[in-house]
Chain A
Amino acid sequence: MLTTSSPPRADRLLSWGLRLAGAAAVLVLGGIVLVLLMQSAPFLLDHGSDLWRNDWQPGQARYGMAAMVAGSIVVSVLALLLAGPLAVLLAAWLRYFAPALRRPMLALVELMAGIPSVVYGLWGMLVLVPWINQWAPPGASWLAASLVLALMILPLALLVTDTALGQLPVRYLQAGQALSLSRVGMLRRVLLPQAGPAIVSGLVLQFGRALGETMAVLMVAGNVVQWPGSLFDPVRTLTANIALEMAYATGDHRVALFASGLLLLLVTALLLLLSWRLRGEKHALA
């Protein structure tokens, strides 16, 4: 009612609302970066060079984070390797080979995306970890964490891929059919390459989500600070470390955790840049 009776005013309201929202987003992000920087600056100056060492023994003032950075990355990489191809294949299959199944499947997948991460973690802890434990103790491991994360990012990766495929011009499909290309060849040679950049940039965002996931990983990763040597070894991620120790940390230890938060933010920012680059290339191609 408001919009039809006085459009200019509504527009002004909307525009101000948008500006406010935009400013809030920038302010919050800036605030987070500022707090992290301020909190961790003294520590970085004192112990900055220790960060790249391996041993994390805050009780003895040893704050090496390299093993946990590696832990964070390998857990998320494996999760993406598991979920990414599966999501792309499933999305393509649903769209081009089983369109009747697509709607119900997408509904199911959306439901999956809505399940809180802690529920995935609980499932991992009570079902997956004991199961892996039977084959390769202790069970809580790099593999368990990656499987749980893969399950968590699969729904959104699938939805993103589906959207990317849906945005391709219909004429590609029509032209392909007119040339009587096989559906598999069509998909492999035309559709997936065209939607590729959008799919990949979506996957990179999911990778960022996997990097940031905390509770589910904390529950299944085993949380031992060590280089991830095998799939069945327990690992600790940066996020799990913060969640495990923040409430109990004081002094330098606490500041070290802030520094690890900054490190995580840095990695995520790099990923975002990568994602932008990939999307930029897509426009260059089109």
Chain B
Amino acid sequence: MQRKMWGALLCVLAMTGCQPATDKLVITGSSTIAPLMAELAERFEAQTGVQVDVQSGGSGRGISDVRQGLADLGMVSRALKQDEQDLAGHVIARDGIALIVHAENPVAPLTQDQIIAIYTGKLDSWSLLGGADRPITVVHKADGRSTQELFLEHFGLDNDQVQPDLVIGENQQGIKAVAGDPYAIGYVSIGTAVYEADHDVPLRLLPLQGVPASLAALEQGDYPLSRELNLVSRGELNTQAKALLDFLSDPAQAEIYHAYYFLPATR
């Protein structure tokens, strides 16, 4: 009896230990891409039998995991930087960042300077923008998020110039904060914002430099605050990773990208 159990245990150990690593793909990184990637990976798994493990943890983690060999592919929700040229980027989709206010906020489209003034604390009441005489709740993202980096870069701001009233982590937290406060302003991924606004969350997306924050504007390339969603790799891609990249750029998957309000990259 006991010997049988040991035998079974050894079998299990042998199976897990000797499984070839190439039958499994590990993808880590951006929390913006992760939900989309998880669904696409599931379909890929069903089609090819290759196991795909998707873990979220920010673009920074995607980069460092690929560098350390902990992941086959890293999800990075921005373009690669100068010091990241040792990695190969594969653009899979496009996304934008939308400024959002509460649906009941009547404020007119804001200019670049007004947005900068709001975020640096120089403009701190809606009355100066034709709204109610109430202080502006400035919602900002925590350090290390690519959404924050992109926002700061677009408006030419340093993080220590920003005077936030609320610092958030995930997009969802930003949505909840703005939807729960008629006097708040924040910025989140367009995909997330459009999705929530379409599902009766009281949000309004502000146009940016005269361009409405919509997927159509993003598709035409007009929207000024947009970013590429990347998968990064290092060195030679293995066959599974290659197959996955081909699978991701297959037009048949476009509807899944759209379901998450991203635009699939056209190749």
Contact = CB atoms under 8 A, between A and B. Distances in A.
A58 B144 contact: yes
B61 interface: yes
Contact of B180 (A130, A222, A253): A130
Given A129-B180, A248-B60, A55 B160 contact: yes
B165 A57 contact: no
B181 A248 contact: no
Interface stretch (B11-19, B106-114, B167-175, B241-249): B167-175
Interface in A219-238: 219, 222-225, 234, 236
A103 B248 CA distance: 60
A118 interface: no
A60 B177 CA distance: 27
Contacts of A234: 164-167
Nearest to B63: A250
Contacts of B137: 133, 137-139
B24 interface: no
**A218, A219, A243, A248: which has the most chain B beta carbons within 10 Å?**
A248
Nearest to A249: B144
Interface string B37-62: 00000000000000000001111110
Contacts of A248: 57-61, 142-145
A129 B183 CA distance: 13
Contact of B167 (A57, A62, A244, A247): A244
A222 B164 CA distance: 9
Contacts of A223: 142, 166-168
Contacts of A224: 164-167
Contacts of A249: 60, 143-144
**A60, A130, A243: which has the most chain B beta carbons within 10 Å?**
A130
Contacts of A8: none
B127 to A, nearest CB: 13
Contact of B60 (A133, A138, A225, A250): A250
B158 A60 contact: yes
A138 B143 contact: no
B240 interface: no
A129 B167 CA distance: 14
B74 to A, nearest CB: 12
A91 interface: no
Nearest to A59: B159
Contacts of B167: 222-225, 234, 236, 244
Interface string A128-142: 011001000111100
Given A137-B181, A234-B166, A253-B143, 4 more contacts: A130-B180, A245-B142, A247-B58, A248-B60
27 contacts: A57-B143, A59-B143, A60-B158, A62-B160, A129-B181, A130-B180, A133-B137, A133-B183, A137-B181, A138-B137, A138-B166, A138-B181, A140-B165, A222-B165, A222-B167, A224-B164, A224-B165, A236-B167, A244-B169, A245-B143, A248-B59, A248-B143, A248-B144, A248-B145, A249-B144, A250-B60, A250-B64
8 closest Cβ pairs, A-B complex: A248-B144, A248-B58, A223-B167, A138-B165, A138-B137, A244-B142, A247-B57, A130-B180
